[in-house]
């Protein structure tokens, strides 16, 4: 029997404080594994948990297991720099990410769990004429796609983010920026926990420490999975295991256009508020925001080789810090407190795959590369639709695996190489 | 950071090299006769192995020569280096026991190394 | 006045410093912490969440409380651990996270409200009304954070230092020094790294009554061995250097603080050095960190780790209290009692959790008449800004109990919950740990790289074992042939009987957790209650507990709190710690300054600046520059305060009317030789190359195997087997490496050799109807007539014995000669051209005019008209795509179902209905204006005012554009919409009459 979770509020906090916090109930159950499920989601990260949540909520499929190798939210959900935006160039991407952004906007209330979605704006900075042209192209496309976006000149950049170095004498001066004001950051762990709590309340079994070792296929139909906790049967399996997508695909004999790369990030020691927005620069490769705890959150680039070690080269981190110090000379005396790595699976066109496969009942959601966190609710929404109807939602139809054969790629590498 | 033994220059820091991805993918000799799927296979699909992977590296900030490397992508250990155009050597590598599992070395924390 | 001490505190050298506006006195050799403590300052800051008064608990990098804002203005640095700050004259420090002062902090109200801020309370509230989150967040953000970020640019410099050696020894305590000596005996090149400013590690905390090494006090032994080591030519010793990362292949990173007393603190000298070390072998002698005990109100100023109290006494000569109580679960804290005893201060009580205390140290302490409360615990403490008393009661086996309590007064409480080996670097190297239950510590178990751990970081805590283990394991680690090692003096120490440790994670007992404040992570204010709440809410994984409670995530990275949190989880859930595991030990071990990571690679050194041989001329002639990749290209040459548009119009007009000169040296140039070059070009370009004659040039488009345009340029056949390829400026390097890739890995059968000659030649491009006059003057004996030197041909010529390659090719649509000359002559030839050209009003033009000129002619720029999704067919350049060749790179992909679609975006020209409007590059095109979202059919790739046509022109990629010429489209801009017509992209000279004139 599923017990409806007690609602969180100021009142519940006070009530619990008065009873010395003895009466909090688990945010999600630690369930017994059933033999059969209507759907299994492989991967208990943000995308997997939202998939289960929306399968249950939007499609009435409630007999679901989410199987997670480690602890929920322990993969890229808990390792990213939490940037949320929807200012993508191509219509297909813009629509998908904008759908996600709208879900972010109501998420805390929907889940009764404060994910601290903070719409403090994301600035994408231009450093040369090529950047200006590319970013203006994106800005114009965003505008007509009804995605809020402003173009800021150098003075407006300085006004919006006073700590950025807009001197025109630096190696790559700031020539302008796009600004999406509705964009921002969120508390990444809370997203996993909030959706886990919500899914659990609708009957979804969240099974941690359960590693998938094989996918069972019979006559072109998926029948279930083998795990370190035994066989689990289901006719529908959605795989959302970023980093390890290729490894799981191989279990079903599928080859994907993915490469798994280390992606590193770091935070500084916490300080009082100093930067009130998110600044991203593709050209010199720096992006930074400040968390509610006061830490500067900084993302580095991917390494140039495949690796499943969740570690990358320190040279990549150095390059990022050089760019940060270049763009924010006042941060030179700040200190790196904590550094970590994740495994991102990267698609050739820097867009995700949310797709059916040639095996009936087997679905893949992967290839989010370095930017999957922002899509979390939207990704789960459309993937749940795809699994429930065995048909893609109109938002993820362009992200089929078939595009690599047809050539209909959605190239979101941002700025193409400079040349003339 | 890796330390790579360039067969032409000797041990050098990884920063001098660039990785060219999976090795032994031969460009088809008969592209016009291939289907879109077959071309996509050559162009985009990769094994992306967790464990022993054969891959190409280029000493791009050195002698500019390409060579093949056998590396365990689950530990980043380089296990062999061999010339372009030769067959990959047979190697025992410390592959994970389960496909998604971790190899038998420490992981930086205590819990995942027990498996 | 200081007592005798190991650190040689120099009492003759007084140092003035200021803390929170008050002047104090310390001595050379002090840290800020020791100096403050010697002045009786315990209250150093307020805690993160509850603003509780806090004092130092330790003397090292594990310190969670004693963090301050160092200096002010451009020299300020937040969150420095005072225990690590070397004192220097004029130092200014401030306490953090308090208002208005550390003594009276309004934030302390939070302590009273603490019951309402349990772990995870943020997640459960502040949700309504939704719009208010921004307001809530504003206050949360201002409450969070510790110190304050600098507001000014950093005046200091930072260096990177690369070091290669045979052995790195990390840590200079007993085992580190001994290991160094053994390695040196083997004639190995050794680097010894010490985190503190002084060599000695735990030796600094000892006195002459501690256990001896070969009959000498540990400090005497240290001084002697250090003399020996320093005489070796194979050693380098660095102090004040924290090794913070252990990565692949024994790659180690350290951060060195330059002694502030050696230079001026307030200047622009080098402040820190980042060490990048590759070592063949690594010996970790990183010691261990003492754990606090977890009991109610265990966080008051004056409650300190026992080992650290000894360090302040023996190391710095500071008595921290007169009325001292010790609370322990193991023998080591009895040493502190002995240390004070030797200074004639009797510890008033030792509260020991263990009912049986039988080690040698406790026995000695007992024999000296100190009171030991065996089988007792401290259940509470009092004292607002410093501890004044403790409440003790009998340790209970069962809960709840109603023990009698007793209150003991004190001014210092020394606590010890056992020791955790510093295994951070070992685990970063991917070594495996195992859990040792008897003294509850994680010890190294299996190394993955060439490394060993020795001494207390390997789980040995008594001197005899440390010496024996170090000798044996280092000897074995350094390999065969140990004759040299066997010659050195072997060090021994007496055996000491150590009593069994009793692990008591929750001293005050489970039943009282929720009603008490038992701090686990002091800096982040995480209590045992928070951990219990997390568990009851289903956060079972230790990683979840860490994230939910933030335990171990403060600036000390949980050095004193991680193992305690594990123990508490273990006690609350009944699971073995060995089944719980640990959270990941991440780099850095201690925080690392951003500036040090960036090193010298900032400002002018941030990225290489590539300049052409004519760069100085451009500078002298007031060119503005455009960054193209790493190149600085002349953008335009304003005269007399011209605007960009005015200058560009003048440059463009002059070029079409008479002659313009462009520095084209940045174009990539690849010299190609070999028997198979024409076959090679056939494979990498879309068109046919077999019939290109010597002395002729041909334009080529290069595709990726996905069919998309990646580069274009002209290739010239210089000789039978000799070609020169040009590439776009930005893609020169990537094209070169892609071509090498094809040759070496895919087509080794081709005899082709590539050499990049981009920087070997300067390229002067003379454009315009009068360009022929210039070359005729430069090369008087040559015939430049159309018949003799037609478009797309090449001649080897000479000026004053300097060999030149002259191509008649064009990127403007005018007659154009490109002269390639060895770089060292390029500037002189450029000057010569300018001189000769004066009578024709020769006009230097930059990249902006170049763009206009080529756009007037409809020439594309790769990366502007293309974006990785454009095929040559999309560019209406079918003519360059060979139908006859069986294969070339990219061919197959041109026939995929999507690439053969007829409604792809195609290159067209655009003319605005109002000729004065210049469209914005990147503007989007629509057929009809609708409500948002508006379906878009393409975008403007290039757009300029054309002074020759006296109107605006643009290029665009438009859906089915080629078949829609003459159709009108709309460009909806922010404030207005602009009507445009799709046209041919060639606006000037479509019949090439000017080009071929």
3-state secondary structure at position C463: helix
pLDDT of res. C460: 96
Tell how strand C660-663 and strand A353-356 pair up. unpaired
Decide: C816 and C853 in contact? Cβ < 8 Å.
Answer: no
Task: Give the largest Cα separation in chain A, rounded.
Answer: 71
pLDDT of res. C108: 84
Distance from C-alpha of A331 to C-alpha of C152, rounded to nearest angstrom: 9
Distance from C-alpha of C421 to C-alpha of C442, rounded to nearest angstrom: 7
Task: Give the largest Cα separation in chain B, rounded.
Answer: 54
Burial readout C545-577 (b: 16 or more C-beta within 10 A, e: otherwise): bbbbbbbbbbbbbbbbbbbbbbbbbbbbeeeeb
CB pairs under 8 A between B and C: 96
Give the helix ranges, DSSP H, for C768-911.
771-778, 823-837, 847-856
Tokens of A349: 């066109």
Nearest CA in chain A to C537: A26
CA distance to partner chain C, nearest, from residue B84 (Å): 6
- Kindly list the strands in the beta sheet with A353-356, ordered across the sheet, starting from the edge strand earlier in the chain: A205-207, A64-67, A39-42, A237-239, A362-366, A353-356
pLDDT of res. A2: 55
Query: B72 at the A interface (CB within 8 A)?
Result: no
A345 chain-B contacts, CB cut-off 8 A: 48
Kindly tell me if the per-residue pLDDT of C507 is higher than 90: no
Kindly tell me if the per-residue pLDDT of C263 is higher than 80: no
CA distance to partner chain B, nearest, from residue A353 (Å): 13
Q: Is the Cβ pair A315, B101 closer than 8 Å?
A: no
3-state secondary structure at position C742: helix
Q: Is the Cβ pair B46, A407 closer than 8 Å?
A: no
CA distance to partner chain A, nearest, from residue C157 (Å): 10
Query: A208 at the B interface (CB within 8 A)?
Result: no
Residue-wise pLDDT tens digits, C771-803: 999 999 999 999 999 999 999 999 999 999 999
CA distance to partner chain C, nearest, from residue A282 (Å): 13
Tokens of A79: 């390792």
Q: Looking at the partner chain, which of A213, A307, A406 has a beta carbon nearest the beta carbon of B73?
A: A307
CA distance to partner chain A, nearest, from residue C480 (Å): 33
Distance from C-alpha of A22 to C-alpha of A223, rounded to nearest angstrom: 43
Q: Is the Cβ pair A315, B112 closer than 8 Å?
A: no
Q: Is the Cβ pair C79, A269 closer than 8 Å?
A: yes
Decide: A39 and A234 in contact? Cβ < 8 Å.
Answer: yes
CA-based nearest residue to C827, from C615, C609, C611: C615
Distance from C-alpha of C62 to C-alpha of C559, rounded to nearest angstrom: 5
CB pairs under 8 A between A and C: 348
Kindly tell me if the per-residue pLDDT of B105 is higher than 80: yes
Kindly tell me if the per-residue pLDDT of C121 is higher than 90: no
pLDDT of res. C131: 85
Query: B37 at the A interface (CB within 8 A)?
Result: yes
C601 chain-A contacts, CB cut-off 8 A: 318, 322
Q: How many angstroms separate the Cα of C940 from the Cα of each of A345, C701, C783, C812, C966?
A: 33, 22, 43, 20, 16
Where does the pLDDT of residue C482 fall: very low under 50, low under 70, confident under 90, or very high at 90 and above?
confident
Q: Looking at the partner chain, which of A18, A208, A292 has a beta carbon nearest the beta carbon of C140?
A: A292
C581 chain-B contacts, CB cut-off 8 A: 109-112, 114
Q: Is the Cβ pair A70, B21 closer than 8 Å?
A: no
Spatial CB neighbours of A194, under 8 Å, sequence gap ≥ 6: A107, A108, A111, A113, A115, C123
**Disruptive mutation site among C443, C577, C740, C745 for chain B (greatest number of B CBs within 10 Å):** C745
Tell how strand A230-233 and strand C938-946 pair up. unpaired
Query: A258 at the B interface (CB within 8 A)?
Result: yes
Distance from C-alpha of C720 to C-alpha of C714, rounded to nearest angstrom: 17
Q: Looking at the partner chain, which of A248, A256, A313 has a beta carbon nearest the beta carbon of B45?
A: A256
pLDDT of res. C485: 83
Kindly tell me if the per-residue pLDDT of B115 is higher than 60: no
Predicted model pTM = 0.96
Q: Which residues 77-96 in chain B show a CB within 8 A of chain A?
A: none
Query: Hey, which chains touch C, using 3+ CB pairs under 8 Å?
Result: A, B
C597 chain-A contacts, CB cut-off 8 A: 317-318, 321-322, 336
The H or E element spanning position C22 is strand C22-28
CA distance to partner chain C, nearest, from residue A251 (Å): 28
pLDDT of res. A420: 40
Q: Is A329 left (phi over 0), alpha (psi -120 to 50) or beta?
A: alpha
Residue-wise pLDDT tens digits, B38-96: 999 999 999 999 999 999 999 999 999 999 999 999 999 999 999 999 999 999 888 89
pLDDT > 70 in chain C, percent: 99
CB pairs under 8 A between A and B: 89
CA distance to partner chain B, nearest, from residue A312 (Å): 7
Q: Is C239 left (phi over 0), alpha (psi -120 to 50) or beta?
A: beta
pLDDT > 90 in chain C, percent: 88
Nearest CA in chain A to C710: A417
Q: Which residues 260-279 in chain C show a CB within 8 A of chain B?
A: 278
Query: C164 at the B interface (CB within 8 A)?
Result: no
Q: Is the Cβ pair C147, A8 closer than 8 Å?
A: no
Q: Looking at the partner chain, which of A251, A313, A405 has a beta carbon nearest the beta carbon of B1?
A: A313
Q: pLDDT tens digits, chain A, 420 residues: what are they?
A: 456 678 898 888 888 888 888 888 999 999 999 999 999 999 999 999 999 999 999 999 999 999 999 999 999 999 999 999 999 999 999 999 999 999 999 999 999 999 999 999 999 999 999 999 999 999 999 999 999 999 999 999 999 999 999 999 899 999 999 999 999 999 999 999 999 999 999 999 999 999 999 999 999 999 999 999 999 999 999 999 999 999 999 999 999 999 999 999 999 999 999 999 999 999 999 999 999 999 999 999 999 999 999 999 999 999 999 999 999 999 999 999 999 999 999 999 999 999 999 999 999 999 999 999 999 999 999 999 999 999 999 999 999 999 999 999 999 886 333 334
- Lowest mean pLDDT across A68-72, B108-112, C318-322, C476-480: B108-112
| Average pLDDT over every residue of C253-266 | 84
pLDDT of res. C887: 97
pLDDT of res. A416: 35
Q: Is the Cβ pair A315, B1 closer than 8 Å?
A: yes
pLDDT of res. B59: 98
Distance from C-alpha of C297 to C-alpha of C684, rounded to nearest angstrom: 75
Q: Looking at the partner chain, which of B21, B41, B100 has a beta carbon nearest the beta carbon of A244?
A: B100
Enumerate the β-bridge partners of residue C258. none
A17 chain-C contacts, CB cut-off 8 A: 115-116, 118
CA distance to partner chain A, nearest, from residue B68 (Å): 13
**Disruptive mutation site among A166, A335, A351, A402 for chain C (greatest number of C CBs within 10 Å):** A335
Q: Which long-range contacts (CB under 8 A, 24 or more apart) does A101-110 make?
A: A101/A182, A101/A183, A101/A374, A101/A378, A103/A377, A103/A378, A103/A381, A104/A186, A104/A374, A104/A377, A105/A182, A106/C130, A107/A186, A107/A191, A107/A194, A107/A377, A108/A194, A108/C127, A108/C130, A108/C133, A109/C127, A109/C128, A109/C130, A110/A198
Decide: C252 and C576 in contact? Cβ < 8 Å.
Answer: no
Tokens of C982: 């799709």
Write a three-state SS string for C396-445: CCCCCCCCCEEEEECCEEEEECCEEECCHHHHHCCCEEEEECCCCEEEEE
Q: How many angstroms separate the Cα of C284 from the Cα of each of A191, C169, C177, C450, C589?
A: 40, 6, 11, 11, 13
Query: C130 at the B interface (CB within 8 A)?
Result: no
Q: Is the Cβ pair A246, B48 closer than 8 Å?
A: yes
pLDDT of res. A307: 97
- Lowest mean pLDDT across A138-152, C427-441, C510-524, C771-785: C510-524
Q: Which residue has tokens 């970590």?
A: A340
Query: C741 at the B interface (CB within 8 A)?
Result: yes
| Average pLDDT over every residue of B102-111 | 82
pLDDT of res. C401: 64
C897 chain-A contacts, CB cut-off 8 A: 405-408
Decide: C793 and C786 in contact? Cβ < 8 Å.
Answer: no
Kindly tell me if the per-residue pLDDT of C417 is higher than 60: yes
Q: Is the Cβ pair A141, C939 closer than 8 Å?
A: yes
Query: B109 at the A interface (CB within 8 A)?
Result: no
Residue-wise pLDDT tens digits, C138-156: 999 998 989 999 999 999 9
Opening angle at CA B51, ends B50 and B52, nearest 5: 130
Query: A319 at the B interface (CB within 8 A)?
Result: no
CA-based nearest residue to C656, from C990, C989, C918, C991: C989
Q: Is the Cβ pair A70, C864 closer than 8 Å?
A: no
Q: Looking at the partner chain, which of C130, C557, C594 has a beta carbon nearest the beta carbon of A324?
A: C594
Rg (CA), chain C: 38
Distance from C-alpha of C483 to C-alpha of C743, rounded to nearest angstrom: 54
- For every residue of C77-123, DSSP letters joined together read EEEEETTTPBP-TTEEEEE-S-SB-SSSBGGGHHHHTGGGS-TTHHH
Residue-wise pLDDT tens digits, C350-389: 999 999 999 999 999 999 999 999 999 999 999 999 999 9
Tokens of A380: 């789960």
Write a three-state SS string for chain A: CCCCCCCCCHHHHHHHHHCCCCCCCCCCCCCCCCCECCEEEECCCHHHHHHHHHHHHHHCCCCEEEECCCCCCCCHHHCCCCEECCCCCCHHHHHHHHHHHHHHHCHHHHHCCCCCCECCCEEEEECCHHHHHHHHHHHHHHHHCCCCCEEECHHHHHHHCCCCCCCCCCCCCCCEEEEECCCEECCHHHHHHHHHHHHHHCCCEEECCCCEEEEEEECCEEEEEEECCEEEECCCEEECCCCCHHHHHHHCCCCECCEEEEEEEEEECCECCCCCCEEEECCCCEEEEECCCCCEEEEEEECCCCCCCCCCCHHHHHHHHHHHHHHCHHHHHCEEEEEEEEEEEECCCCCCEEEECCCECEEEEECECCCCHHHHHHHHHHHHHHHHHCCCCCCCHHHCCCHHHHCCCCCCCCCCCCCC
Residue-wise pLDDT tens digits, B30-42: 999 999 999 999 9
Q: Which residue has tokens 């000892």?
A: C206
């Amino acid at each position: 029997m599923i017990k409806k979770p007690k609602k969180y509020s100021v009142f519940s906090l006070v009530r619990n404080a008065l009873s010395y916090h003895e009466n909090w109930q688990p945010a999600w159950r630690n369930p017994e594994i059933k033999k059969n499920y209507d759907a299994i989601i492989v991967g208990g990260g943000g995308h997997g948990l939202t998939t289960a949540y929306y399968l249950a909520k939007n499609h009435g499929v409630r007999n679901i297991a989410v199987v997670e190798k480690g602890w929920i939210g322990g993969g890229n959900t808990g390792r990213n720099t939490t940037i949320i935006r929807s200012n993508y160039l191509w219509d297909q991407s813009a629509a998908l990410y904008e759908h996600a952004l709208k879900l972010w906007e109501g998420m805390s209330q929907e889940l009764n769990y404060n994910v601290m979605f903070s719409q403090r704006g994301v600035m994408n900075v231009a450093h040369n004429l090529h950047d200006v042209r590319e970013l203006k192209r994106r800005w114009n496309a965003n505008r007509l796609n009804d995605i809020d976006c402003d173009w800021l000149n150098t003075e407006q950049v300085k006004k919006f983010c006073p700590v950025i170095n807009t001197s025109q004498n630096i190696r790559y001066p700031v020539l302008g920026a796009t600004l999406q004001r509705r964009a921002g950051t969120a508390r990444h762990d809370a997203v996993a926990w909030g959706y886990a709590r919500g899914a659990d309340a609708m009957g979804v079994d969240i099974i941690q420490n359960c590693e998938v070792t094989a996918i069972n296929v019979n006559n072109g139909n998926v029948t279930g999975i083998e795990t370190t906790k035994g066989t689990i049967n289901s006719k529908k399996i959605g795989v959302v295991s970023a980093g390890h997508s290729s490894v799981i695909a191989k279990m079903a004999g599928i080859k994907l256009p993915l490469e798994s790369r280390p992606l590193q990030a770091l935070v500084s020691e916490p300080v009082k508020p100093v930067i009130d927005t998110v600044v991203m620069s593709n050209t010199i490769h720096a992006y930074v925001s400040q968390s509610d705890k006061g830490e500067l959150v900084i993302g580095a680039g991917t390494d140039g080789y495949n690796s499943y070690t969740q570690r990358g080269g320190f040279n990549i981190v150095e390059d990022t810090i050089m760019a940060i110090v270049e763009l924010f000379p006042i941060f030179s005396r700040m200190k790196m407190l904590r550094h970590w790595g994740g495994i991102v699976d990267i698609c050739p066109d820097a867009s995700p795959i949310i797709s059916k496969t040639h095996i009936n009942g087997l679905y893949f959601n992967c290839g989010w590369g370095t930017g999957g966190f922002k899509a979390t609710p939207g990704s789960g929404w459309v993937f749940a639709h795809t699994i429930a109807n065995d048909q893609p939602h109109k938002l993820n139809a362009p992200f089929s695996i078939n595009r690599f054969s047809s050539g209909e790629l959605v190239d979101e590498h941002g700025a193409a190489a400079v040349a003339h | 950071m890796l330390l790579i033994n360039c067969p032409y220059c000797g041990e050098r820091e990884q920063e001098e090299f660039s990785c060219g991805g999976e090795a032994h993918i031969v460009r088809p000799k008969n592209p016009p006769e291939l289907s879109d799927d077959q071309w996509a296979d050559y162009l985009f699909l990769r094994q992306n192995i967790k464990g022993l992977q054969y891959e190409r590296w280029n000493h791009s900030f050195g002698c500019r020569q390409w060579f093949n490397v056998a590396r365990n992508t689950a530990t980043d250990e380089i296990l062999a280096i061999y010339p372009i155009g030769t067959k990959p050597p047979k190697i025992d590598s410390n592959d994970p026991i389960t496909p998604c599992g971790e190899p038998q070395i420490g992981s930086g924390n205590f819990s995942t190394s027990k498996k | 006045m200081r007592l005798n001490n190991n650190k040689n505190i120099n009492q003759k050298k007084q140092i003035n410093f200021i803390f929170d506006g008050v002047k104090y006195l310390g001595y050379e050799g002090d840290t800020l912490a020791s100096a403050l403590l010697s002045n009786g300052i315990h209250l150093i800051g307020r805690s993160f969440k509850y603003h509780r008064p806090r004092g130092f608990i330790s003397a090292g990098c594990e310190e969670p409380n004693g963090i301050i804002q160092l200096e002010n203005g451009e020299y300020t640095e937040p969150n420095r651990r005072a225990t690590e700050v070397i004192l220097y004259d004029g130092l200014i420090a401030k306490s953090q996270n308090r208002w208005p002062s550390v003594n009276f902090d309004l934030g302390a109200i939070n302590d009273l409200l603490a019951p309402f801020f349990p772990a995870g309370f943020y997640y459960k509230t502040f949700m309504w009304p939704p719009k208010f989150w921004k307001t809530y967040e504003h206050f949360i953000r201002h409450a969070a954070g510790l110190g304050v970020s600098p507001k000014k640019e950093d005046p200091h410099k930072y260096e990177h230092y690369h070091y290669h050696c045979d052995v790195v020894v990390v840590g200079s305590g007993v085992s580190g020094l001994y290991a160094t000596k053994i390695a040196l005996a083997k004639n190995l090149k050794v680097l010894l790294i010490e985190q503190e400013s002084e060599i000695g590690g735990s030796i600094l905390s000892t006195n002459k009554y501690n256990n001896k090494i070969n009959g000498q006090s540990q400090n005497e032994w240290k001084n002697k061995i250090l003399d020996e080591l320093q005489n070796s030519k194979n050693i380098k010793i660095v102090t004040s250097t924290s090794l913070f990362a252990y990565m692949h292949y024994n790659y180690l990173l350290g951060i060195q603080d330059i002694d502030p007393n050696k230079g001026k603190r307030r200047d622009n000298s080098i402040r820190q050095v980042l060490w990048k070390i590759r070592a063949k072998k690594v010996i970790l002698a990183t010691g261990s960190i003492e754990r606090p005990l977890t009991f109610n109100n265990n966080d008051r100023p004056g409650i300190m780790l026992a080992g650290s109290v000894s360090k302040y006494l023996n190391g710095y000569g500071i008595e921290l209290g007169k009325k001292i109580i010790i609370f322990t679960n193991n023998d080591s804290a009895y040493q502190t009692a002995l240390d004070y005893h030797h200074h004639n201060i009797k510890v008033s009580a030792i509260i020991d959790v263990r009912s049986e205390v039988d080690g040698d140290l406790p026995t000695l302490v007992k024999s000296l008449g100190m009171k030991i409360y065996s089988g007792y615990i401290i259940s509470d403490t009092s004292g607002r800004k410093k501890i004044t008393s403790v409440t003790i009661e009998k340790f209970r086996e069962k809960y709840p109990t109603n023990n009698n309590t007793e209150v003991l007064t004190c001014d210092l409480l020394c606590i010890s919950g056992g020791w955790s080996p510093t295994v951070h670097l070992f685990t970063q190297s991917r070594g495996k740990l195992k859990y040792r239950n008897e003294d509850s510590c994680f010890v190294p178990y299996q190394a993955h790289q060439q490394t060993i751990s020795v001494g207390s970081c390997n789980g040995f805590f008594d001197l005899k074992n440390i010496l024996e283990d170090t000798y044996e394991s280092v000897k074995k680690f350094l390999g065969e042939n140990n004759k040299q090692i066997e010659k050195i003096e072997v060090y021994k120490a007496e055996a000491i009987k150590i009593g069994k440790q009793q692990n008591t994670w929750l001293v005050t007992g489970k039943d009282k957790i929720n009603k008490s404040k038992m701090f686990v992570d002091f800096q982040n204010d995480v209590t045992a209650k928070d951990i219990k709440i997390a568990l009851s809410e289903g956060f079972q994984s230790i990683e979840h507990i860490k994230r939910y409670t933030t335990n171990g995530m403060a600036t000390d990275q949980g050095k004193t709190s991680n193992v305690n949190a594990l123990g508490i989880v273990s006690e609350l859930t009944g699971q073995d710690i060995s089944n719980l595991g640990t959270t990941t030990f991440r780099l850095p071990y201690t925080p690392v300054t951003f500036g040090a990571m960036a090193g010298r690679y900032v400002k002018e050194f941030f990225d290489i600046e590539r300049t052409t041989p004519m760069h100085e001329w451009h500078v002298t002639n007031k060119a503005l520059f455009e960054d193209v990749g790493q190149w600085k290209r002349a953008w335009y040459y304003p005269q007399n305060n011209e605007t960009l548009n005015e200058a560009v119009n003048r440059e463009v007009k002059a070029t079409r009317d008479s002659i313009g000169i462009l520095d084209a040296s940045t174009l990539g140039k690849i010299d190609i030789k070999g028997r198979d070059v024409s076959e090679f070009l056939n494979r990498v370009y879309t068109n046919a190359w077999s019939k290109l004659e010597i002395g002729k040039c041909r334009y080529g488009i290069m595709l990726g195997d996905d069919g998309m345009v990646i580069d274009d340029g002209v290739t010239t056949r210089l000789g039978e087997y000799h070609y020169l390829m040009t590439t776009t400026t930005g893609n020169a390097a990537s094209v070169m490496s892609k071509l090498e890739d094809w040759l070496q890995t895919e087509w080794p059968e081709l005899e082709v050799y590539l050499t990049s000659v981009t920087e070997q030649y300067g390229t002067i491009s003379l454009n315009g109807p009068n360009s022929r006059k210039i070359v005729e003057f430069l090369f008087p004996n040559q015939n430049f007539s159309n018949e003799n030197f037609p478009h797309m041909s090449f001649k080897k010529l000479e000026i004053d014995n300097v060999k030149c390659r002259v191509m008649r090719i064009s990127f403007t649509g005018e007659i154009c000669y490109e002269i390639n000359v060895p770089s060292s002559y390029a500037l002189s030839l450029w000057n010569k051209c300018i001189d000769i050209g004066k009578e024709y009003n020769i006009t230097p033009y930059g990249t902006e005019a170049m763009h206009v000129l080529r756009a007037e002619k409809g020439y594309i720029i790769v990366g502007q008209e293309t974006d990785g999704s454009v095929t040559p067919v999309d560019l209406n350049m079918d003519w360059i795509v060979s139908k006859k060749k069986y294969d070339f790179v990219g061919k197959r992909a041109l026939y995929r179902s999507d690439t053969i679609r007829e409604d792809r975006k195609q290159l067209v020209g655009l003319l605005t209905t109002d000729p004065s409007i210049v469209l914005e590059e990147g503007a989007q095109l629509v057929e009809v204006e609708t409500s948002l979202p508006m379906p878009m059919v393409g975008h403007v790739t290039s757009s300029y005012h054309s002074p020759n046509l006296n109107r605006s022109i643009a290029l665009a990629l438009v859906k089915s554009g080629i078949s829609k010429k003459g159709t009108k489209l709309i460009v909806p801009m922010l404030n207005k919409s602009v009507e445009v017509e799709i046209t041919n992209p060639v606006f000037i000279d479509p019949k090439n009459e000017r080009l071929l004139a």
